[in-house]
Amino acid sequence: MTTQNLALFDLDNTLLAGDSDYNWSLFLIEEGLLDAKTHHDRNEQFYVDYKNGCLDIYAFLKFQLQPLSQHPKTFLDKLHLKYMEKVIRPMMTDKAKALVDAHKAKGDLCLVITATNSFVTKPIATAYGIEHLIGTDPEMVNGEYTGGVSGMPSFQAGKVTRLNQWLTERGKQLKDFPISYFYSDSHNDLPLMQLVTNPVAVDADPTLTEYANAHQWPHISLRD
């Protein structure tokens, strides 16, 4: 048993006042790297499916990761710097930063756990000062993205599996932490929220709001 507590954070629409995955596609369209006519409508439909809890995660990832395979990683990394400044930093709220900082000040083990791919999300977690990230991992061969997925997507119950794997690699289990927090906006995260000692709904969708109220979970807002 450790005396350290665990603080888990969803990213999109939780720490961020927006969705980094959805907006990445819009950003690529704006940059002229994706065809708006063929890409925009599918992006919108996948986003609706996610919010409705019926997203086909593998169909979505095939769609979302394919553009990564079209460019060298060096180009993508430079492009992401522009994305961070233009799109992501305006979504990073003071309240979200303060929440993360409060957990770090207490010495809690902080981890971002998100269904969005780790190429998009790792620099965002770093910008919040969070070292650890579990995201859906894009497949790489010889240092370049293939457009495929490596391992299990960290989506819905997959977040539980991926977290348990991550903890096992560190010789720990979730029950080892006296207090475990999970902050999320989405009913897609209920499988993991039901396992932690302190689930917190953050600017939650209607389904999660109803569930949180029924189970007397706290509900906070991180929007400025």
**Which token pair is 157?**
């119950």
Residue 10 is a catalytic residue = yes
Instruction: Please identify which of the residues 12, 21, 108, 185 carries the catalytic annotation.
Output: 12
Q: Which amino acid is at 40?
A: H
Adjacent-strand bridge partners of 53: none
| Distances, alpha carbon 130 to alpha carbons 39, 106, 112, 123, in Å | 32, 14, 7, 10
The pair of structure tokens assigned to 37 is 């006519």
Q: What is the DSSP letter of 92?
A: B
Choice among 10, 21, 137, 189 that is catalytic: 10
Give the bridge partners for 182, in sequence order. 8, 199
Query: Across the chain, which distance is largest between two alpha carbons, in Å?
Result: 54
- Decide if 205 is catalytic: no
Cα angle 99, 119, 80 (rounded to 5 degrees) comes to 85
Active site residues: 10, 12
